[in-house]
């Protein structure tokens, strides 16, 4: 179910990416120096496989959640109607929102926070005078890639969001204590309640009706540009949508909610990186086992609650029951994401599962490449300049297509590429643009 009047809607298509998360600060000095010279990634033998598995799993979930934004307008169903009327499609839509919505971009932002801690610490150990400048350049390159992606190819981009949050962490939070980070996490958790209560006071029926008209107008132009237009038409419409997300107070309010959701899990990742949770998995396993099933129960109960609430209250505009639904969404988003993380962490400790999850880890070793490849594949399938299937594929078929693209295309491609390369092609380009020279670790590429 879409609800795109504000881009922070829990049902709006949601994108990704993590910083390249390499290995522990305990790695040997020689390996660290090589990694820094090589663009921030350690050789395969020194990486934490569990982080690659998590990134791969997140890539799959992100594609599932982004598929509606590729195949139809972000602004569909703004008036509360059902775009897809078959029971199968509506059930697929509800299960997708309950189990996937928000869980996987939050997983990537968690990994982004972990990656920041590991990478920045490594840079400070080897080149303390230039660590800030190098990491800033890395983030600016990511921001540039994200803006190009958003304004030319697909407006659901999240790379620019991660880059800007990374700059905020670099210059605003790197010296904040763990207690300060915990306070920030608490404020992010409280924001949806405060924002929702304010909406009940501020948003009028006339304002809601005007937002619906704007959304319906965008739905028409989206169909013309993406479904029937040329590549240039689609790029112009993408840019127009990106401007809309930031050019008025109501859109900015919704966008702020999205940024706060991302910041929450970045901060959790930052805390996890500082406390070296990823390097202490065996030690933490008793707590992980205990938390896993509690997180599943909380996530499913809250997920079912927000799904039912939003299905029974589809008319646009704020209401107390929809505020409750939004709070349930936020709790479910965090709880189920952490449940997925803890299940993969536990499986990664078993040799048999390490082999089974190796293909997933291969996709996760090149997240930037695979994320942008998803846009290339899906826009070629749905846009008018490609196969032109825009608006013709419902949630059930979209879910099946997502799995097919990931497992039949991206995983085999990743396994093939990494046989002869240390990193993905866009990861190598990112490192080259960051360091201004061919990365040492990619010299064999």
Residues in Cβ contact with 21 at an 8 Å cutoff, skipping those fewer than 6 apart? 48, 51, 55, 111, 114, 115, 118, 119
Residues 198-240 pLDDT 10s? 999 999 999 999 999 999 999 999 999 999 999 999 999 999 9
pLDDT at 13: 37
pLDDT at 438: 57
Q: Which residues of 221-240 are buried (b: 16+ CB within 10 A; e: fewer)?
A: bbbebbbebeeebbbbbbeb
The residue among 382 and 247 whose pLDDT is bigger is 382
Q: What is the mean pLDDT of residues 35-62?
A: 71
Q: What is the mean pLDDT of residues 314-338?
A: 96
pLDDT at 22: 31
CB atoms within 10 A of CB 91: 12
User: Based on the number of CB atoms within 10 Å of its own CB, is 125 exposed (0-12), middle (13-18) or buried (19 or more)?
Assistant: middle
Average pLDDT taken over every residue of the chain: 88
Residue 219 contacts residue 75 (beta carbons within 8 Å): yes
pLDDT at 26: 29
pLDDT at 77: 94
Residues 73-116 pLDDT 10s? 999 999 999 999 999 999 999 999 999 999 999 999 999 999 89
pTM for this structure? 0.88
Residues 403-433 pLDDT 10s? 999 999 999 999 999 999 999 999 999 999 9
pLDDT at 437: 64
pLDDT at 3: 40
């Amino acid at each position: 179910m879409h609800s795109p009047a504000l881009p922070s809607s829990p049902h709006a298509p949601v994108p990704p990416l993590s910083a390249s998360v390499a290995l522990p600060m305990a790695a040997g000095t020689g390996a660290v120096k090589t990694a820094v010279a090589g663009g921030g990634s350690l050789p395969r033998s020194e990486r934490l496989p569990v982080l690659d598995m998590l990134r791969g799993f997140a890539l799959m979930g992100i594609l599932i959640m982004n598929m509606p934004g590729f195949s139809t307008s972000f602004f569909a169903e703004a008036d509360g109607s059902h775009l897809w009327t078959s029971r199968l499609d509506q059930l697929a839509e509800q299960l997708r929102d309950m189990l996937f919505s928000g869980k996987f971009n939050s997983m990537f932002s968690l990994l982004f926070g972990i990656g920041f801690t590991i990478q920045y610490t490594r840079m400070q150990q080897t080149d303390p005078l230039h660590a800030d400048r190098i990491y800033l350049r890395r983030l600016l390159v990511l921001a540039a890639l994200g803006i190009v992606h958003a304004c030319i190819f697909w407006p659901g981009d999240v790379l620019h969001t991660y880059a800007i949050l990374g700059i905020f962490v670099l210059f605003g939070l790197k010296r904040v204590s763990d207690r300060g980070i915990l306070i920030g996490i608490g404020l992010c958790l409280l924001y949806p309640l405060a924002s929702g209560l304010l909406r009940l006071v501020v948003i009028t029926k006339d304002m809601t009706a005007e937002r619906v008209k704007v959304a319906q107008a965008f739905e028409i132009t989206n169909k013309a540009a993406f479904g029937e237009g040329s590549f240039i038409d689609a790029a112009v419409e993408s840019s127009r949508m990106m401007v809309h997300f930031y050019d008025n107070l109501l859109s900015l309010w919704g966008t702020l909610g999205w940024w706060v959701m991302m910041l929450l899990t970045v901060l959790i990742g930052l805390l996890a990186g500082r406390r070296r949770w990823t390097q202490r998995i065996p030690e933490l396993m008793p707590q992980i086992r205990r938390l896993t099933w509690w997180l599943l129960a909380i996530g499913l109960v809250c997920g079912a609650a927000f799904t039912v609430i939003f299905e029974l209250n589809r008319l646009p505009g704020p209401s107390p029951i929809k505020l409750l639904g939004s709070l349930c969404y936020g709790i479910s988003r965090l709880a189920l994401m952490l449940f997925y993380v803890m299940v993969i962490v536990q499986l990664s400790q078993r040799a048999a599962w390490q082999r089974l999850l190796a293909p997933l880890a291969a996709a996760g070793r090149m997240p930037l490449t695979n994320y942008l490849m998803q846009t290339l594949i899906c826009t070629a399938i749905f846009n008018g300049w490609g196969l032109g299937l825009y608006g013709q594929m419902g949630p059930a078929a979209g879910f099946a297509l997502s799995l097919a693209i990931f497992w039949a295309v991206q995983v085999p491609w990743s396994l093939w590429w990494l046989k002869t390369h240390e990193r993905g092609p866009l990861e190598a380009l990112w490192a080259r643009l960051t360091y201004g020279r061919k990365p040492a670790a990619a010299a064999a590429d």
